[in-house]
Structure 1
Amino acid sequence: MEKAAATFFSLALVLMFIHCFIALGGGATNYTSSDESALLAFKSQITYDPNHILATNWSTNTSFCHWLGVSCRHRGQNRVTSLNLSNLGLKGTISPQIGNLSFLTYFNISYNHFSGHLPVELGQLRQLKVFYLHINDFSGEFPLSIFNVSSIQRINFGNNSFSGSLPDNLCSQLPKLKEFWLSYNEFVGDIPSHWGECRELQYLSLHENKFTGFIPRGIGNLTLLKWLYLGSNNFQGELPPEMGNLRSLEILSLKSANLTSSIPSSLFNISSLKELYLYKNQLFGSLPKDICSSDVHRLEILSLYNNQLTGSIPRYVSNCTSLEVLDLYSNKLSEYGFEGLVSTKCDVYSFGIMLMETFTRTKPTDAMFDGNLSLKHWVANSICYGVAEIIDANLLIPNDEPYAAKVQCVSAIMELALRCSAESPEERMTMRDVLAALKKIKILYLTNRGKS
């Protein structure tokens, strides 16, 4: 009797174990089926696949873990952890079922042509760490549910047409945020004031939007920040001096940001700073006297043109031994060109302006250059109607025998000056190329003079 009872108990235990195993197995199958269904729903809303990648590769004949761009975690369950479909030329919208990929940590569909609004279901991706949607055609207000995913570390939604405003408690909701790129969109309103809570943030780009209000002083608390792009917005007020606390900062861009203040000297205490873009604002006052006065001189680009700066150029500028671009054009500074001091590393832009000054005997600050007319525009226009009209009369005398050779020579020099002072640093010549061009102009002049 006892033996029969023991046998019955053992059989019941085995049956219970089988039942649990089937239940667990059924659960895993359901999860797997859910992930596959989410991917197939995503595929169903792709309207254009130029390389037929999803049409041929995403087939139910093979496991979805082997589909192109899909990665899974294999621990008894095949769960999608990564979806990378960047740069495939895809068109379509995002299926709400994408929110069912509950194990997804990496989501990248950048460099495509996705459009429409983002589904609020994206806020269900509670394990998401990397979220890249940049360079697509998305529009509409951004679903705030995304900012509830506290695991997110890297966000790039740049180059779309997103609108709306950002929540003020963004940093408290995304405490692990390291990268935040929203450039080239249509976001409006104030930028969040509590940036100091994003303690791990290293890259922040909000430029080319429609943000207004003041730049929050709390940004100065982001001591790990390396790149900060806030330009091409419509801010008001000053450039916060607290930005001088950004001890890890390498690039600061606040071009065309409608700033009205002096330049805080604290910025030049950031020993890691390599590039500083503050052009096309309404900055006034003099240049800080301690530019490059510290023991570390890493500054490579200093672009301050189109402001209202006054006074003289500080003598410490000559200590900027790493400086490659110095843009001070269209200000009210004296000693522009810093007494002709130019090297292969310093100020090809100013060298171009200095050439114009030398051959025309004029300065950018002369009274004739008001409104829309500048020294550069004046010289550029002369290339069309005759450069001889603007060159110093003591350099070009019509009765001189080599007159034609001189006109050709100074015309070539003025064209070279314009190339040196191009608006974009990428379009400017290097000093090595400038030197080679000057040698060619000299040889051409000597040859033509001999023929006169």
Structure 2
Amino acid sequence: MLVLGYELPNLEELYLNGNNFHGRIPNSIANSSKLTEIYLFDNNFISESPELSFITSFTKCRYLINLGFNDNPLNGILPVSVGNLSTSLQYLYGYNCDLWGSIPKEIGNLSSLIKLSLYGNQLTGLIPTTAVDLQKLQGLYLESNKISGSIPDTLCELRNLYELTLSQNLITGAIPDCIGNITTLRSLYIDANRLTSSIPASLWLQNNLLQLDLSSNFLRGSLLQEIGNLKVATLIDLSVNRFSGSIPSTIGQLQNLNNLSLAHNTLQGSIPESMGKLLSMERLDLSHNNLSGNIPKSFEALRYLTYLDVSFNDLSGEVPSGGPFKNFSSQSFMSNEGLCGDPIYGLPPCHTTGPKKIKLMLRVLFALLGIIVLITIAMALAYAVGRYRSKNLVENTTDFAPGTTLPRVSYYELMQATQRYSESHFLGSGSFGSVYRGTLNDGRDVAVKVFDLQHQNAFKSFDVECEVLRNLRHRNLCKVISTCSNQDFKALVLEYMSNGSLEKLLYSDDCLLDILQRINIMIDVASALEYLHYGYSTYIVHCDLKPSNVLLDEDMVAHLSDFGIAKLLGEGESNAHTTTIGTLGYIAPEYGLEGLVSIRCDVYSYGIMLMEVFTRTKPSSEIFSGELSLRSWINDSMPNAIARIIDSNLLAPEEEYYTEKLKCLSSVMELALNCSMESANERVNMKDVVVALKKIRFQLLS
């Protein structure tokens, strides 16, 4: 028991951090009125009341400079009395202590404050405009809360601000145009919010900025040539936004840059040759764009480059092989149909030809071009007419990636590939058809999804899948290789997933998925959903999330499949009414009862699936009846009876690190409950889910 204030009236410094003290923080500490520093962090302190009365008692400490009560389970709100703390207070640390409610406007009274750190809580409401009165503030850390509203222009008047961190909140609107006025700014993190519009030109004038992270927002527009002004920057992350246009050549002027990510945008044009001058570069991610042309050979000079990802673009030509390239794998270059190079990259070899031979070939080509065109057209017409007369089948192949030519697969080749859709090739069936394993003429194994056109929604389902998968590219989405379509037959040719569905593996007696495998699979699924919800110009709702629609390749990487009932919400449309089609047990309440579909419906289904994966219990299990459901079963078991509901294959009391594993599993179940809240507005988003699961994985591996 702590009794400090009455016994030590002349105490000037109090350090009680990391000692696992528990109980309430005694208000009597404040009787040591000469205290200048109070550190109570990393214990198990709780508050006497939700209003954190101990803070009110600390207003008696008129000489207080440093106050830290972070990393305690306080579960309270910041009281208005926080503004009555000493005007000498310079450092206030209240992070990771379950604070909720809004930041009181009285915080502006702390005129001497240098650092305000309240990250990792459940704070809501707006950033108070009274923060403008904190003119000495150098660091403002509010990440990982639920703060909403826009970034107030008043923050631009903090002329001593060094670090501004607002990541992982619910902030909307635009980045203030006045952001360039904060000439002292060195680190700016506003990632994982809901910011819109373009990057203000003034931000590119921050020539002292070291770190800039605007990833996972809805920012749009082009990247300006003025990006070259950020000459001291070491990190720039603009990934998962809606930026278009080309990569400015002036980016090569950022000689100190060691981490650059422009992934998951719609950037076009070539990769600037000048990027080969970024000699400090360690990590470079340009994946999931529409970039074309070659990978600059100048990249061979980037000797510190340890991570490169240019996958899912339209690049062509030979991949350089010198310098850092010898350490890269096929993952760096996948889904660029025009690339060639060393077989270790999983690419076809390049066919090199000398200059003289090229000139000769060009002369011959131009000389015969007219003849070749005429012959080709004549043969194509004759072949098409003949085929039409002999068999009324028309196959349509859709290019799902701009600029990419996909191989045509005919009706007859699919018949041959699947041995006329024999039972031995049958993989499974769904609402609108059946899936068969096949081997194409080029030796490639595929899955052929044949739609049952007797079903009234089969035509629509086929069109929806084509529409969705034509425009989307992500490593965790099932890739469509080709289609075969006519009035009487419709099929999708998909990547073959050798490890089958998550449902099959989860309930198999021959294969046991361990904790790490299940977490990795669910991270893959969450990443796919994050891309569907935030990585495209419109919201895409899968609408039928369940283990049978998650497929696993030979490396146990999960791929989300079956977009037959997916919904594409229009521009500016966050929800829509529709007929409820889905699988009972996974359907969100508002979708099942009202037909109201939004991305939050997927979050609900994901939460139910997360529960199922770690309990190995279906939501339709016969043990659930009446008021008892999978969710309520888990909710009633939290937190003390969690071991009773977890899949017994994952946890044994006698095993090593039992307590650590149980803690991780408890965090997974808590996340699942947050995903499946009854009210759609209370559910977390998929960005937060990805972050949370990766954190759990890190804890599991530590």
**With structure 1 as the length reference, what TM-score do the two structures score?**
0.66
The letter of the residue matching 1:313 is I
User: Which residue of structure 2 aligns with residue 65 of structure 1?
Assistant: 35
Counterpart Cα distance in 1 of 2:270 and 2:163: 34
Distance 1:375 1:141 in 2: 36
Contact residue 166 and residue 192 of structure 1 kept, 8 A: yes
Counterpart secondary structure, 1:367: coil
The equivalent of 1:108 in structure 2 is: 93
Looking at structure 2, the residues matched to 162 and 267 of structure 1 have their Cα atoms a distance apart, in angstroms, of 33
Q: How has the CA–CA distance of structure 1 residues 155 and 218 changed in structure 2, closer, same or farther, with 3 Å as cutoff? A: same
Residue 323 (structure 1) aligned with residue 305 (structure 2): yes
Give, as a single letter, the amino acid of the residue that structure 2 aligns with 1:103. S
- 2:194 is equivalent to residue 224 of structure 1: no
Q: Please report how far the alpha carbon of residue 139 of structure 1 lies from its aligned counterpart in structure 2 after TM superposition.
A: 0.4
SS of residue paired to 1:317: helix
Give the Å deviation of 1:371: 4.6
Quote the offset at 1:175 in angstroms.
0.4
Using the alignment, how far apart are the partners of 2:268 and 2:347 within structure 1?
27
AA paired with 1:367? L
Q: CA deviation at 1:340?
A: 5.4
- Structure 2 residue 226 is matched with structure 1 residue 187: no
2:65 aligned with 1:84: no
The residue aligned with 2:252 is 268
Does the Cα contact within 8 Å between 1:326 and 1:350 map onto a contact in 2?
Answer: no
- CA–CA separation in structure 2 for the residues paired with 1:216 and 1:202: 17
Partner of 1:384: 499
* Equivalent residue number for residue 539 of structure 2: none
Any residues of structure 2 matched to 1:258-297 within 5 Å, and which? 258-292=242-276, 294=277, 297=279
Write the distance in 2 (CA, Å) between the matches of 1:197 and 1:358. Answer: 49
Give the residue type in structure 1 aligned to 2:211.
W
Question: Which runs of no fewer than 5 residues in structure 1 stay unpaired?
Answer: 1-35, 37-49, 72-76, 386-413, 428-452
Q: Does the aligned pair in 2 maintain the 1:161–1:185 contact within 8 Å? A: yes
Partner residue in 1 for 2:22 = 52
Q: 1:139 to 1:351 in 2, by over 3 A?
A: closer
CA distance in 2, matches of 1:417, 1:87: 37
Checking the alignment, whether the CA contact within 8 Å between 1:83 and 1:106 is kept in structure 2 is yes
* Equivalent residue letter for 2:328: D
TM-align CA RMSD: 3.6
* Aligned partner letter, 1:382: M
Structure 1 residues 355 and 84: alpha-carbon distance in aligned structure 2, compared to 1, 3 A threshold: same
* Inter-CA distance 298–228: structure 2 relative to 1 (3 Å threshold): same
Higher deviation after alignment, 369-378 or 127-136: 369-378
Q: Partner amino acid for 1:282?
A: T
What's the CA shift for 1:236?
2.0
Establish whether residue 246 from structure 1 lines up as the match of residue 361 from structure 2: no
SS of alignment partner, residue 107 of structure 2 = helix
Distance 1:67 1:229, change over 3 A: closer
- Aligned partner of residue 498 in structure 2, secondary structure: helix
Q: Distance in 2 between matches of 1:63 and 1:150?
A: 26
1:325 and 1:348 in contact (8 A); partners too: no
Moved more, 228-237 or 342-351: 342-351
Matches of 1:418 and 1:341, distance apart in 2: 30
Alpha-carbon distance, 1:112 to partner: 1.4
Deviation at 1:197, TM superposition (A): 1.5
Deviations 1:379-428 (A, max 9, x none): 9743326xxxxxxxxxxxxxxxxxxxxxxxxxxxx957979xxx99x99x
1:359-378 alignment runs, 5 A limit = 365=404, 367=406, 371-372=471-472, 377=478
Secondary structure of the corresponding residue to residue 286 of structure 1: coil
One of 147, 160, 164 as aligned partner of 2:149: 164
- Give the match's secondary structure for 2:275: coil
Give the counterpart letter for 2:112 in structure 1.
Q
Partner of 1:121: 106
Instruction: Tell me how far 1:85 sits from its aligned partner.
Output: 1.2
Distance in 1 between the 2:254 and 2:111 partners? Answer: 37
CA distance in structure 1 between the aligned counterparts of 2:81 and 2:26, rounded to whole angstroms = 21
Q: Show the counterpart of 2:359.
A: none
Distance 1:416 1:360, change over 3 A: farther
**What is the deviation of 1:142?**
1.8
Q: What's the secondary structure of 1:162's corresponding residue?
A: coil
| Count of residue correspondences | 337
Distance 2:557 2:347 in 1: 14
| Partner AA of 2:406 in structure 1 | A
Could you tell me which residue of structure 1 aligns to residue 241 of structure 2?
257
Q: Among all aligned residue pairs of Structure 1 and Structure 2, give the percentage whose two residues are the same amino acid.
A: 26
Alpha carbons 1:58, 1:67 under 8 Å: kept: no
Structure 2 stretches of 5 or more lacking a match?
1-8, 10-19, 42-60, 335-342, 351-400, 408-468, 480-493, 501-552, 559-689, 696-702
Quote the residue 1:137 is aligned against.
Answer: 122
- Greater alpha carbon shift after TM alignment, 273-282 vs 144-153: 144-153
Q: Is the 8 A contact 1:220 1:245 kept in 2?
A: yes
Partner SS, residue 280 of structure 1: coil
* Letter aligned with residue 150 of structure 2: S
Partner in structure 1 of residue 159 of structure 2? 175
Alpha carbons 1:342, 1:351 under 8 Å: kept: no
Give the corresponding residue for 1:23: none
Contact 2:294 2:317 (8 Å CA) reproduced:
yes
Structure 2 match to 1:310: 292
Is the Cα contact below 8 Å between 1:195 and 1:219 reproduced in 2? yes
CA separation of 1:382/1:335 partners in 2, compared to 1, >3 Å: closer, same or farther? farther
Task: Give yes or no for contact 1:211–1:235 (8 Å, CA) kept in 2.
Answer: yes
SS at match of 2:231: coil
Q: Which residue type is aligned with residue 304 of structure 2?
A: S
Asked if the contact 2:285/2:308 (under 8 Å) is kept, the reply is yes
Following TM superposition, by how much is the alpha carbon of 1:148 offset from its aligned partner in structure 2, in angstroms? 2.5
For residues 118 and 283 of structure 1, the distance between their equivalents in structure 2, rounded to whole angstroms, comes to: 39
Q: Larger relative contact order (C-alpha < 8 A, sep ≥ 6)?
A: 1
Whole-Å separation in 1 of the counterparts to 2:232 and 2:499: 48
Once residues 29 and 205 of structure 2 are traced to their aligned partners in structure 1, the CA distance between those partners, rounded to angstroms, is: 50
The letter of the residue matching 1:120 is K
DSSP 3-state at the match of 1:142: coil
Distance 2:496 2:96 in 1: 40
**Alignment match, 1:333:** 315
User: Are the counterparts in 1 of residues 329 and 344 from structure 2 also a CA contact under 8 Å?
Assistant: no
Q: Which amino acid aligns with 1:193?
A: D
Aligned counterparts of 1:300 and 1:131: Cα–Cα separation in 2: 32
Quick check: 2:170–2:194 contact (8 Å CA) kept in 1? yes
Structure number with greater Rg is 1
Cα displacement (A) at 1:344: 7.5
CA distance in structure 2 between the partners assigned to 1:54 and 1:103 by the alignment: 26
